[in-house]
């Protein structure tokens, strides 16, 4: 990926609403995002695969020597020469049903979502510490400014994240450290409307890295567990 240094005098050519007085930045002209649900739907259609919804996997079937040969669901057994755990944030739960320990832990964050606005943000804009926070395996609360427009109009302003072993419901109000971080997160978007607080809960591995590897102790069974923390590490094609 190309990374072009941008001097302070050219920042507003790329993003007119940036705050004044910034030292400079870096532009990634090839930066892009895909919507995982739409990407998966198109790949499914192109492959000709058969999608079975409402089939909850209750256990993984295997031969006496440990070779996986399918899954058992509430609607019957499905046999296959290989099984891929592509359950994403539920990958740990599904792995347990295969008798495998896959540590996927809760990680909570808050993002501010505005009402639909005219196009204002041309790129995903974030401070350098946002990259460090995403990659960090610290369980402590971290906040860093990131602003992103969407095709539908709402602007996403964030973000906070902290690791937690608890799956308790998100609080109705952001915690005090997040309230202190909110002005810093919103400076790059000076004209946003009253926004809804949208608590989001993702899951991470202890290293924050997605898991894509053969499942230990199970032949012909692979794990592909995406995590919210570093979803960009995946290519757009899901395993299926």
**Given pLDDT bands bounded at 50, 70 and 90, which one contains residue 223?**
very low
Report the pLDDT averaged over residues 21-42: 88
Report the pLDDT averaged over residues 139-149: 81
Dmax over Cα atoms in the chain, in whole Å? 68
Per-residue pLDDT tens digits for 62-99: 888 888 899 999 999 999 988 988 888 788 888 998 88
CA–CA distance, 126 with 147 (Å, rounded to integer): 6
Q: Where are the domains of the chain?
A: 55-104+211-233, 105-204
Residue with more model confidence, 154 or 170: 154
pLDDT of residue 214: 55
What's the predicted TM-score (pTM) here? 0.56
pLDDT of residue 29: 92
pLDDT of residue 152: 86
């Amino acid at each position: 990926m190309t990374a072009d240094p941008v001097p302070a005098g050219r920042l507003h050519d790329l993003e007119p609403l940036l705050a004044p007085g910034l030292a400079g930045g870096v532009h990634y002209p090839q930066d892009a995002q895909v919507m995982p649900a739409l990407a998966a739907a198109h790949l499914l259609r192109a492959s000709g695969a058969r999608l079975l919804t409402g089939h909850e996997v209750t256990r993984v079937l295997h031969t006496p020597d440990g070779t996986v040969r399918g899954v058992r669901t509430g609607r019957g057994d499905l046999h296959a020469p290989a099984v891929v755990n592509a359950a994403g944030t539920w990958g740990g739960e599904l792995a347990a049903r295969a008798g495998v320990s896959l540590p996927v832990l809760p990680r909570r964050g808050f993002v501010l979502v505005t009402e639909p606005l005219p196009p204002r943000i041309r790129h995903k804009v974030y401070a350098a510490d946002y990259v460090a926070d995403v990659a960090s395996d610290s369980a402590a609360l971290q906040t860093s400014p990131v602003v992103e427009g969407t095709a539908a109009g709402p602007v996403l302003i964030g973000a906070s994240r902290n690791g937690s072993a608890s799956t308790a419901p998100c609080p109705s109000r952001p915690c005090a450290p997040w309230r202190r971080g909110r002005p810093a997160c919103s400076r790059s978007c000076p004209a946003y409307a009253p926004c809804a607080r949208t608590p989001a809960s993702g899951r991470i591995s202890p290293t924050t890295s997605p898991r894509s590897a053969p499942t230990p102790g199970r032949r012909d069974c692979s794990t592909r567990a995406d995590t919210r923390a570093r979803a960009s590490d995946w290519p757009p094609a899901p395993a299926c």
